[in-house]
Amino acid sequence: MRGAVIHAPGDVRFEERANPAIQAPTDAVIRMSATCVCGSDLWDYRGINPVNGPTPMGHEYVGIVEAVGSDVTTVKPGQFVIGSFFASDNTCEICRAGFQTSCVHREFVGAGGAQAEYLRVPLADGTLVATPDLPSDDLLPSLLAASDVLGTGWFGAVAADVKPGATVAVVGDGAVGLLAVLAARELGAERIIAMSRHESRQKLATHFGATDIVTERGDEGVARVKELTGGLGAQSVIEAVGTQQSMLQAIRSARPGGAVGYVGVAHDVTLPGEELFYSHVRLLGGPAPVRRFLPDLIDRIERGAIDPGRVFDLELPLDQVAEGYRAMDERRAIKTLLRP
Amino acid sequence: MRGAVIHAPGDVRFEERANPAIQAPTDAVIRMSATCVCGSDLWDYRGINPVNGPTPMGHEYVGIVEAVGSDVTTVKPGQFVIGSFFASDNTCEICRAGFQTSCVHREFVGAGGAQAEYLRVPLADGTLVATPDLPSDDLLPSLLAASDVLGTGWFGAVAADVKPGATVAVVGDGAVGLLAVLAARELGAERIIAMSRHESRQKLATHFGATDIVTERGDEGVARVKELTGGLGAQSVIEAVGTQQSMLQAIRSARPGGAVGYVGVAHDVTLPGEELFYSHVRLLGGPAPVRRFLPDLIDRIERGAIDPGRVFDLELPLDQVAEGYRAMDERRAIKTLLRP
């Protein structure tokens, strides 16, 4: 088969790779229906994360089950499935508490490289969720979004304790931040402040439910959120960037007794203990346990209640994956969808 | 009247001070029934916090209302009352969310110095809670504990999301840590691991409900907690020290999806963002909103369900307050109760 391999920063190639096969009786192999490029892939592409030799890329996927191991019971060949970037047994104590991305048996599905024609998914029973029927083609982008960015934005909103009637602020206007806006709306937020300075992203944020746009960043952004919330700050803040500045902006935008859900992968972040102590702000974040939310998200998508697939503003054939990276790196695209 | 004043590290004097008076129509003045020395007072006594000139000390109090301002409606002269170290209006949005120590009108009651014969309490309606009747003398220590250390340990347990059947670890064996053990038991924890290396404190922890004692600290303490919890860590961890080591020990003792409630006043703490991100541990802490819990705590004490007053292992007349500080500083006493 063919798939995307990064050789060095800025050097993503679509090339021949070995076909994945069942290695453990709990594995499945899927034929890719659609995959995409993640904001976190850009950390490698930009050389911020080291690239140690040729590495298969991609960890977001929807596809048709091609084969399953002998222990797999909940999905079967021919079914359309969605899974998360971490495989999980979905039965251990940590999974049962809803933190499947910290499953005691977790494996990074992306190690197999999802930007490819086929993908091996470990722990298929605990990882994959099948749709009731084969979905229509127009639902593919939204179902693919559920595999990571929607599930991650959703976890951000849940971790930030978004409740009906709440005032929410979202730091970050990438795909995850935009879908955190959608999640906040679905969870009943009354007011959603999106922090963005890009017009196309502001528009999408508004489409997803943002009621206010704040273009300022850092301390000025915080001051603007306070102004909009009677001087108190937001009840829930979702952080979807992962830098020192964005984390502090998120914490300082929350009111005492409020919560920050942080889902931007943290890079060189250190949090001031005293400030956090006196802030009375609750923190919860990390790699989103997308599996927890998948059945609900699939249901909302199939009912037409949400259209998270709109974050894909560029669609390319899989063999043009390199252009997909370039477009996102140059911020010409929010997120690139790839079809084999 | 007479009260305690710190002049320099190690120099606490019991001396003449001006009688407090009603200054605002929302004030009350109380005659002290009992007061005490807090672990946080030792930060001043030890010179870790700067002492800028003579400062009245003490912020824990129970007493009889002596006078009230013209706007006060919920307490009246002659009633026995308990309040928290921060005065709060108990009506603003932050108070209604249960974070009275961040009330938009908050004032530090301790500014008046509670280790004294009388104390002015601002915002009396929102701050003080009266007992149904004058309590018997043997309940005084427990009611006094509710003013800070019990309420703080309780908040730690609530912030750590202690639930029925949970496994809980408590870092810190001062009065707050010991009462966090009691709070965890009352909230239904099944297993409570107290981290302590002092025999008298271990005994009290066991009396309050600890099922396991861990004497190791730092990484060894973490390893021991993991050993006791099937390799996962505790579901809820209460941090009651406030140092870098104790915060990391708390975070690392919690399982993914678990929560840390931190109530030790943070001193020179910086939290590693990446580690926190991948830990999946929820953090909530800060100055305990004791007022939220006071009615419930008073009820439990009056019913005889809890005996938090046992943390006082030294009782002195108020005029011997200096000895009260010395005994705690030298760790001869866990906590000193003072009676005028």
Say yes or no: B113 contacts chain A, CB-CB below 8 A: no
- Tell me the H-state helices in chain B: 41-45, 93-96, 124-127, 140-146, 149-159, 175-186, 199-208, 218-228, 244-253, 273-279, 290-302, 321-329
The shortest C-alpha distance from B53 to chain A (Å) reads: 24
Q: From the list B102, B242, B256, which residue is nearest A102 (CB)?
A: B256
Decide which of B40 and B220 is more confident.
B220
> What's the pLDDT band for B23 if we cut at 50, 70, 90?
very high
Q: Give per-residue pLDDT as tens, A271-306.
A: 999 999 999 999 999 999 999 999 999 999 999 999
- Identity of the amino acid at A270: T
Say if residues A208 and A179 touch (Cβ distance below 8 Å).
yes
Q: How many CA atoms lie within 13 A of B110 on its CB side?
A: 19
The parent domain of residue A260 ranges over: 150-285
The reported pLDDT for the residue numbered A313 is 95
Average pLDDT over residues A228-242: 97
Stated as kind and residue range, the H or E segment containing A179 is helix A175-186
Average pLDDT over residues A185-203: 96
| Same domain, residue pair B250 and B173 | yes
> What's the pLDDT band for B169 if we cut at 50, 70, 90?
very high
Question: In the structure encoding, which two tokens stand for residue B203, read together?
Answer: 């005994």
| Same domain, residue pair B45 and B110 | yes
Q: Tell me whether residues A101 and B282 touch, CB distance under 8 A.
A: no
Chain B residues whose CB is inside 8 A of the A230 CB are: 93
Sequence-distant (≥ 6) Cβ neighbours of residue B212 within 8 angstroms: B191, B192, B193, B194, B228
Chain B residues whose CB is inside 8 A of the A282 CB are: 159, 282-284
C-alpha distances (whole Å) from A248 to each of A69, A127, A197, B174, B183 are 46, 34, 18, 32, 32
Say yes or no: B1 contacts chain A, CB-CB below 8 A: no
Chain B residues whose CB is inside 8 A of the A269 CB are: 272-274, 277
| Same domain, residue pair B279 and B305 | no
Q: Give per-residue pLDDT as tens, B230-286.
A: 999 999 999 999 999 999 999 999 999 999 999 998 889 999 999 999 999 999 999
The residue of chain B nearest to residue A239, with distances taken between CA atoms, is B277
C-alpha distances (whole Å) from A39 to each of A21, A297, A332 are 28, 21, 13
The reported pLDDT for the residue numbered A299 is 98
Q: Tell me whether residues B94 and A232 touch, CB distance under 8 A.
A: yes
* CATH number of the structural domain spanning residue A29: 3.90.180.10
The pLDDT > 90 percentage for chain B reads: 97
- The residue from B285, B300, B329 where one domain ends is B285
Average pLDDT over residues B201-219: 97
- Identity of the amino acid at A196: S
Q: Give per-residue pLDDT as tens, B1-20.
A: 999 999 999 999 999 999 99
CB atoms under 10 Å from CB of A210, counted, come to 28
Instruction: Tell me what the pLDDT averaged over chain B comes to.
Output: 97
The reported pLDDT for the residue numbered B338 is 98
| Same domain, residue pair B281 and B189 | yes
| Same domain, residue pair B96 and B134 | yes
**Distance in angstroms (rounded) separating the CA atoms of residues B271 and A68:** 43
| Same domain, residue pair B311 and B234 | no
CB atoms under 10 Å from CB of A247, counted, come to 25
Chain A residues whose CB is inside 8 A of the B268 CB are: 273-274
Number of folded domains that form chain B: 2
The residue of chain A nearest to residue B103, with distances taken between CA atoms, is A256
Q: Tell me whether residues B230 and A93 touch, CB distance under 8 A.
A: yes
| Same domain, residue pair A136 and A170 | no
**DSSP string for B29-95:** EEEEEEEE--TTHHHHHTTSS---S-EE----EEEEEEEE-TT--S--TT-EEE--SEE--S-SHHH
The residue of chain A nearest to residue B102, with distances taken between CA atoms, is A256
Q: Give per-residue pLDDT as tens, B178-204.
A: 999 999 999 999 999 999 999 999 999
Strand partners of residue B31 = B64, B118
> What's the pLDDT band for B323 if we cut at 50, 70, 90?
very high
| Same domain, residue pair B249 and B304 | no
| Same domain, residue pair B328 and B239 | no
For residue A74, which phi and psi values (nearest 5 degrees)? Answer: -95, -15
CB atoms under 10 Å from CB of B213, counted, come to 19
The reported pLDDT for the residue numbered A251 is 98
Q: Tokens 């409606």 label which residue? A: B73
Q: Tell me whether residues A277 and B268 touch, CB distance under 8 A.
A: no
Say yes or no: B285 contacts chain A, CB-CB below 8 A: yes
| Same domain, residue pair A15 and A142 | yes
Say yes or no: B303 contacts chain A, CB-CB below 8 A: no
Nearest to B142 by CA among B314, B324, B306: B306
For residue B114, which phi and psi values (nearest 5 degrees)? Answer: -80, -15
What are the start-end ranges of the E strands in chain A?
A: 2-8, 11-16, 28-36, 55-56, 61-68, 80-82, 86-87, 107-108, 118-121, 129-130, 167-171, 191-195, 212-214, 234-239, 254-262, 270-272, 282-285, 314-317, 336-339
Say if residues B14 and B317 touch (Cβ distance below 8 Å).
no
Say yes or no: B249 contacts chain A, CB-CB below 8 A: no
The reported pLDDT for the residue numbered B8 is 96
| Same domain, residue pair B137 and B267 | no
- What is the ipTM metric for this complex? 0.96
Average pLDDT over residues B55-81: 98
Nearest to B4 by CA among B91, B85, B115, B161: B115
Q: Give per-residue pLDDT as tens, A96-126.
A: 999 999 999 999 999 999 999 999 999 999 9
| Same domain, residue pair A296 and A324 | yes
Question: In the structure encoding, which two tokens stand for residue B328, read together?
Answer: 């705690």
The reported pLDDT for the residue numbered B137 is 95
* CATH number of the structural domain spanning residue B243: 3.40.50.720
